[in-house]
């Protein structure tokens, strides 16, 4: 704990030195520990260490608050400064709003964002790659739960039905805390550390399964620009299962057994009904 506090204090001192006389800096919180708030009198900015390299594109398209400047420090760290936005995080109940669906659709439709992401070397996370990585990770686990084995078996059997229609930049973390809205109603999606090139059904599936009652999926998808088909349902469920299994494995590897068990519990409630099984029931 002391080492973490010392590291934070050092980073704050470095940032205050870089900003100049009179500036104050404090950690902004969050899981990454890389975000800071800086202020000088009434002036206020948001700082982040080593943020997403395509932040400029996100800013230009109005997806995140305006990027003010970027600076590389002597130690190799890159610091970005963004306009401070007086905002609030969305509540879980706000995730059904049309504006959320429309912004996510805008993100997934951005050719500029996809081009930038691919130019810096990010390869698409295809369904085949996801299964291969999860299979390898699962083999090395010390404790293997039946629900995890069932999830992996389901993913492998269903893989032929999960061919993505297109690959886009997905945010990767649809938690309502990552969506902020200012007093004018401008909506932003922040914290892009988990972004990757994937099937858009990944983001959409995580959001719908977590926040939106199934009876409201059709209306939400209308605002996004998709129709609710059986193919889409199958893909969304597959990606939700893959995400849960990935989290269970990752937290077990970190020896965070409590969080790992929570994801295993989630898997125990997931649907592993394959396309073949659905056809046999018809």
Q: Residues 91, 92, 95, 96: is their CA dihedral positive or negative?
A: negative
Give backbone dihedrals phi and psi of 220, rounded to 5 degrees, phi first.
-65, -45
Radius of gyration, CA atoms only, the chain:
21
The residues annotated with a catalytic role in the active site are: 173
Instruction: Count CB neighbours of 26 within 10 A.
Output: 13
Distance CA 38, CA 229 (A): 47
Distance CA 5, CA 27 (A): 11
Angle CA 245–247–249, to nearest 5: 70
């Amino acid at each position: 704990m002391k080492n973490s506090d010392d590291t934070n204090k050092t980073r704050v001192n470095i940032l205050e030195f870089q900003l100049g006389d009179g500036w104050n800096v404090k950690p902004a919180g969050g899981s990454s520990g890389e975000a800071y708030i800086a202020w000088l009198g009434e002036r206020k900015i948001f700082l982040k260490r080593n943020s997403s390299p395509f932040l400029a594109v996100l800013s230009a398209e109005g997806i995140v608050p305006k990027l003010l400047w970027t600076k590389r420090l002597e130690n190799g760290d890159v610091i970005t400064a963004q306009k401070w936005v007086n905002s609030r995080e969305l509540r879980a109940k706000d995730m059904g709003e049309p504006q959320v669906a429309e912004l996510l659709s805008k993100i997934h439709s951005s050719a500029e964002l996809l081009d930038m992401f691919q130019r810096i070397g990010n390869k698409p996370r295809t369904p085949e790659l996801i299964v291969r990585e999860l299979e390898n990770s699962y083999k090395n686990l010390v404790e293997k739960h039946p629900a995890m084995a069932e999830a992996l078996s389901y993913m492998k059997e269903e893989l032929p039905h999960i061919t993505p229609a297109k690959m886009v930049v997905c945010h990767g973390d649809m938690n309502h805390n990552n969506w902020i809205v200012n007093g004018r109603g401008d909506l932003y999606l922040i914290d892009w550390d988990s972004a990757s090139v994937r099937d858009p059904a990944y983001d959409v599936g995580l959001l719908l399964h977590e926040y939106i009652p199934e009876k409201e999926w059709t209306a939400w998808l209308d605002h996004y620009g998709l129709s609710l088909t059986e193919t889409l349902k199958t893909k969304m469920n597959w990606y939700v299962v893959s995400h849960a299994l990935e989290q269970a494995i990752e937290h077990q590897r970190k020896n965070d057994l409590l969080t790992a068990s929570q994801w295993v519990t989630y898997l125990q409630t997931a649907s592993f009904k394959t396309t073949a099984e659905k056809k046999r029931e018809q």
